[in-house]
Amino acid sequence: MSLRIFVPIDSSALSVGAESVAQAILAEAERLGVAIELVRNGSRGLFWLEPLVEVETPAGRISYGPVKPSDVPDLFASGFLNGRPHRLGHGLTEHIPYFAGQERLTFSRVGIGDPLCLEAYRANGGFGGLERALALSPAELVQEVTDSGLRGRGGAAFPTGVKWRTVLEAEAPHKYVVCNADEGDSGTFSDRMLMEGDPFCLIEGMTIAALAVGATQGYIYSRSEYPHAFRTLQCAIAKARDAGLLGPDVLGSGHAFELEVRMGAGAYICGEETSMLESLEGKRGLVRFKPPLPAISGLFGMPTVINNVMSLASVPIILSKGASFYRDYGVGRSHGTLPFQLAGNIRHGGLVEKAFGLTLGELLYDYGGGSASGRPIRAVQVGGPLGAYVPESRFDVPLDYEAFSQMGAMIGHGGIVAFDDRVDMARMARYAMEFCVIESCGKCTPCRIGSQRGVEVIDRIIANQERAKNLALLDSLCDTMIKGSLCAMGGMAPYPVLSAVKHFPEDFGIGQSARAA
Amino acid sequence: MSTASSIDLDAIQGIVREKASLPGALLPILHAIQGRTGWVPEEAVPLIADALNLSRAEVQGVLDFYHDFRREPPGRHIVQICRAESCQAMGAQALETHVKSSLAVDFHQTTADGSISLEPVYCLGNCACSPAIRIDDEVFGRVDSNRFDTLVDRLRAEEVSA
């Protein structure tokens, strides 16, 4: 049997040279006349080590990284094919503390094998959830997901089972399952990693959702910024259809479920669920008024389940291992695990799937290893561009939906962006408003005009023009946006702004302005 | 490069015909036209409107709403610089300044030689390897000024040899 070597095909790994490393390994093996099997896996999520090359040995998979093409001859010469030590070596991948400390449920298969190999998917526990789901009634399926405590992983944290029940009970000629894969938040990449690294898991989760609510058509709405994920999904869907997992008769059950991946067109707002529906219908991504809820009147006016990639990809393991297995992870009303994403100025950036309840500090220092620059971490933004900035004094708050909401922050999609002590928080506040100007759908005034005025007011504060007056005006403007906007875009863009002012007043000249006045 | 004078309306008509029956066909049609032509010419709008039974204004509205769709021919390559928070935390602003001055263009402009169109982008999902940029369909991580220059030199060298 030839030796198996793994080089990720994940787009982050490719972005730092994984493809040329793979080519160098093939070339060197040929030059030496060694038979190897090169497997292109997803990423393990230890991105500071990418390109991470793994070699299969009797003891397990040994990892080396970050590998450059020029390191490859030396790796061969020092016996990496037998897992021998090397200056780039990290021993058994699963013993690397960053990896060993995780609780990988949703990401149990990502990084293990070829993402598009159905046999590998099945061999690693794939389709166990779907097989069990086919033996349950829709009501039992919905109950199982409700009992698991799963809440929407896109950010809103709405109980998934409750949403499914509403769609199940709605009567209509057609129902839809829509996967929100429009992962636009800066600092997040878990959806992308899963779509590229374990696409059948998402397909399985969507098929289970379709069985639960009686839907026959599904759409995955992904991003044009994710070309690799799009191609991987298209290929996975075609393979699943060929294998009878999708189509008019899913696994011989008599249930039909068709699935299609659609590409967005660079509009952040289309991650908002009603804007996404408009976009899928071929219209401008204008947010809809609610009610009616999409669960009652969604895509093309039909009852529609809309879930995030992470929510849907958590469903197979909930079904295969049972609701209580999943529910027992976590704290309070935050059950299960969340794949956190460490990004920005962080030494060990990557994906950390853990049960809810650990603290930001543990993530930033125990996993993240502090800042990449070696300077103190001054602020972190949690939950994307609409999430609050959290100062170091709050790094001990547990990552739990309720604890975060109590301090005026949100966990959102689990993205954590670290900034060192060189960050200018007034500029970050200005950026938050500027982003809202660029990405507002324009339907409601508080968001469309409020964000524009927000940029101008912050500019005046930075320029020290009537600072106290403009700070009061900014406060009032934020209040209007929060209370008067139609959706979370305008309704939450003030959070990074207000948290920046509150926790980092010195960056806005507060204190100075009192003296000046 | 496609110019206004060399628009292949037959090809566009073919795309429209092929995809018109998809539910919510407008975005897939616009993506397919742009994928083939590099942009969406004005002449495509009435063809699409007819096929989908929409007004021209509705089609134009969608074309204008989404950042991705281009209404003018772009350069031979599209370079996108991520401006989002994670990349900012790792020096994207300095990179942006360098890119604009070395290419001598601002965002939404094309270099004088028609080689590169520069665009901002708000997150490429490569946040653990910030700063990130995209050149055509390839994403690059941990990009500083030096790496950017190397990538652009390579791009231009490939153009010369092509």
Residues B13 and B82 occupy one common structural domain: no
Confidence grade of residue A507 (pLDDT, cut at 50, 70, 90) = very high
ipTM metric? 0.96
Residues B42 and B105 occupy one common structural domain: no
User: Is A186's CB within 8 Å of B86's CB?
Assistant: yes
Give me the CATH code for the A425-508 domain, please. 1.20.1440.230
Quote the CA–CA distance of A234 and A147 in Å, as a whole number. Answer: 32
Q: Answer yes or no: is pLDDT of A517 > 60.
A: no
Residues B83 and B152 occupy one common structural domain: yes
Q: Which residues of B touch A189 (CB under 8 A)?
A: 125-128
Confidence grade of residue A432 (pLDDT, cut at 50, 70, 90) = very high
Confidence grade of residue B161 (pLDDT, cut at 50, 70, 90) = confident
- Residue B77 has phi, psi (to 5 degrees) of -130, 150
3-state helix, strand, coil in chain B (%, to 5): 50, 10, 35
Residues B84 and B154 occupy one common structural domain: yes
Q: Answer yes or no: is pLDDT of B8 > 90.
A: no
Q: Answer yes or no: is pLDDT of A112 > 50.
A: yes
Beta bridge partners of A352: A340
Q: If DSSP codes are grouped into helix, strand and coil, which group holds residue A477?
A: helix
Give the residue-averaged pLDDT of B95-106: 98
User: Is B122's CB within 8 Å of A226's CB?
Assistant: no
User: Is A224's CB within 8 Å of B61's CB?
Assistant: no
Measured N-to-C along each axis, helices B56-65 and B44-52 cross at an angle, to the nearest 10 degrees, of 120
Q: Answer yes or no: is pLDDT of A332 > 70.
A: yes
Instruction: Provide the CATH topology of domain A330-420.
Output: Ubiquitin-like (UB roll) (3.10.20)
Q: Which residues of A touch B69 (CB under 8 A)?
A: 265
- Lowest-pLDDT range, A72-76, B1-5, B83-87? B1-5
The secondary structure of residue A376, as a DSSP letter, is: P
Quote the CA–CA distance of B33 and B59 in Å, as a whole number. Answer: 13
Dig out the tokens for A128 from the structure.
């166990």
Residues B81 and B152 occupy one common structural domain: yes
Q: Is residue B112 part of a domain?
A: yes
User: Is A15's CB within 8 Å of B87's CB?
Assistant: no
* Residues A463-484: tens digit of each pLDDT: 999 999 999 999 999 999 999 9
Q: Which of B30, B73, B11 is nearest to A267 (CA)?
A: B30
- Does B82 count as an annotated binding residue? yes
* Residues A228-284: tens digit of each pLDDT: 999 999 999 999 999 999 999 999 999 999 999 999 999 999 999 999 999 999 999
* Residues A295-318: tens digit of each pLDDT: 999 999 999 999 999 999 999 999
Q: Answer yes or no: is pLDDT of A156 > 70.
A: yes
Q: Answer yes or no: is pLDDT of B114 > 50.
A: yes
Quote the CA–CA distance of A196 and A194 in Å, as a whole number. Answer: 5
- Distances from the Cα of A29 to the Cα of A38, A80, A476, B116, angstroms: 10, 12, 66, 38
Instruction: Provide the CATH topology of domain A118-327.
Output: Rossmann fold (3.40.50)
Confidence grade of residue A512 (pLDDT, cut at 50, 70, 90) = low
pLDDT at site A1: 59
Residues B148 and B83 occupy one common structural domain: yes
Q: Which residues of B touch A215 (CB under 8 A)?
A: none
A33 touches chain B (CB under 8 A): no
Tell me how far apart the terminal alpha carbons of chain A are, to the nearest angstrom: 79
Give the residue-averaged pLDDT of B63-69: 97
Look up the domain containing B82 and give its range: 77-161
User: Is A184's CB within 8 Å of B123's CB?
Assistant: yes
Residues B156 and B106 occupy one common structural domain: yes
Tokens 């080689």 appear where?
B115
Q: Is residue B70 part of a domain?
A: no
Residues B28 and B49 occupy one common structural domain: yes
Boundary residue ending a domain (B65, B87, B108): B65
By percentage, how much of chain B surpasses pLDDT 90?
A: 92
Give the residue-averaged pLDDT of A94-116: 98
Beta bridge partners of A159: A151
Q: Is residue B58 part of a domain?
A: yes
* Torsion sign across C-alpha atoms B27, B32, B33, B37: positive
Q: Answer yes or no: is pLDDT of B35 > 90.
A: yes
pLDDT at site B6: 64
Give me the CATH code for the A3-100 domain, please. 3.40.30.10
Q: Is residue B71 part of a domain?
A: no
Residue B151 maps to which CATH number? 3.40.30.10
Q: If DSSP codes are grouped into helix, strand and coil, which group holds residue A448?
A: helix
- The full set of domain ranges for chain A reads 3-100, 118-327, 330-420, 425-508
Question: How many domains, in total, are found in chain B?
Answer: 2
Q: Is residue B150 part of a domain?
A: yes
Render A44-58 in DSSP notation, one character per residue. Answer: -SBGGGPSPEEEEET
Give the residue-averaged pLDDT of A403-411: 95
Residues B88 and B147 occupy one common structural domain: yes
Q: Is residue B37 part of a domain?
A: yes
User: Is B127's CB within 8 Å of A186's CB?
Assistant: yes
Residues B46 and B87 occupy one common structural domain: no
Q: Answer yes or no: is pLDDT of A514 > 50.
A: no
Confidence grade of residue B2 (pLDDT, cut at 50, 70, 90) = very low
Amino acid at A440: S
The secondary structure of residue A362, as a DSSP letter, is: I
- Distances from the Cα of B91 to the Cα of A297, A488, B23, angstroms: 45, 28, 43
Quote the CA–CA distance of A396 and A388 in Å, as a whole number. Answer: 16
B20 touches chain A (CB under 8 A): no
Residues B59 and B81 occupy one common structural domain: no
Q: Answer yes or no: is pLDDT of A166 > 70.
A: yes
Q: Is residue B119 part of a domain?
A: yes
- Does B129 count as an annotated binding residue? no
Shortest distance between the Cα of B14 and any Cα of chain A, in A, equals 19
Q: Is residue B124 part of a domain?
A: yes
Residues B135 and B61 occupy one common structural domain: no
Residue among A266, A344, A346 minimizing CB distance to B85 = A344
By percentage, how much of chain A surpasses pLDDT 70?
A: 99
* Residues A39-75: tens digit of each pLDDT: 999 999 999 999 999 999 999 999 999 999 999 999 9
